[in-house]
Structure 1
Amino acid sequence: MSVQFLFWLLIGIWPIDVSAQTTVPTPPRMAGYLGILHPLVTIDGNGSETNFSDYYVVGFPIGLNLWKTDRVGFSAEIVPIIRAENHVSRVSNVLFHPGILLGLGNGFTFAGRLAFETNGRYGVTPVFNKVVKRNKDSSYFVAIPIPVRFGNDRSASAAVGFQFGIAF
Structure 2
Amino acid sequence: MSFKHTFFIALLSTGFTAFSQTTYPKITGYFGIMHPIVTINEDETTVNFRDYYAVGFPTGINIWKNEKIGFSFEMVPNIKDDQGTSKVTNLLFHPGVLVALGKGYTFAGRAAFETSGRYGFTPVFNKTIIKNSSCSYYVAVPLPVRFGNDHPASFTIGFQFGIAF
TM-score, normalising length: structure 2 = 0.87
Q: Secondary structure at the match of 1:76?
A: strand
User: Structure 1's 138 and 24: CA in aligned 2 closer, same or farther, altered over 3 A?
Assistant: farther
How many residues matched?
148
Q: Secondary structure at the match of 1:160?
A: strand
- Equivalent residue number for residue 100 of structure 1: 97
- Equivalent residue number for residue 155 of structure 1: 152
- How far the C-alpha of 1:55 sits from its partner, in A, is 0.8
Superposed CA deviations along residues 91-129 of structure 1, whole A, max 9, x for unmatched, are 000000000000000000000000000000000000000
1-structure distance, mates of 2:29, 2:51: 33
- Equivalent residue number for residue 133 of structure 2: 136
Instruction: Report percent identity of matched pairs.
Output: 59
Superposed CA deviations along residues 35-69 of structure 1, whole A, max 9, x for unmatched, are 00000000001121100012100000000000001
Amino acid at match of 1:104: L
Task: Give the RMSD, CA atoms, in angstroms.
Answer: 1.3
Amino acid at match of 1:105: G
Of 35, 38, 42, the residue aligned with 1:45 is 42
2-structure distance, mates of 1:94, 1:137: 29
Given the alignment of the two structures, is residue 65 of structure 1 paired with residue 62 of structure 2, yes or no?
Answer: yes
1-structure distance, mates of 2:127, 2:117: 30
| Unaligned residue ranges in structure 2 (runs of 5+) | 1-16
The structure that has the greater radius of gyration is 2
2-structure distance, mates of 1:92, 1:156: 18
- How far the C-alpha of 1:24 sits from its partner, in A, is 4.6
Amino acid at match of 1:83: K
2-structure distance, mates of 1:152, 1:40: 22
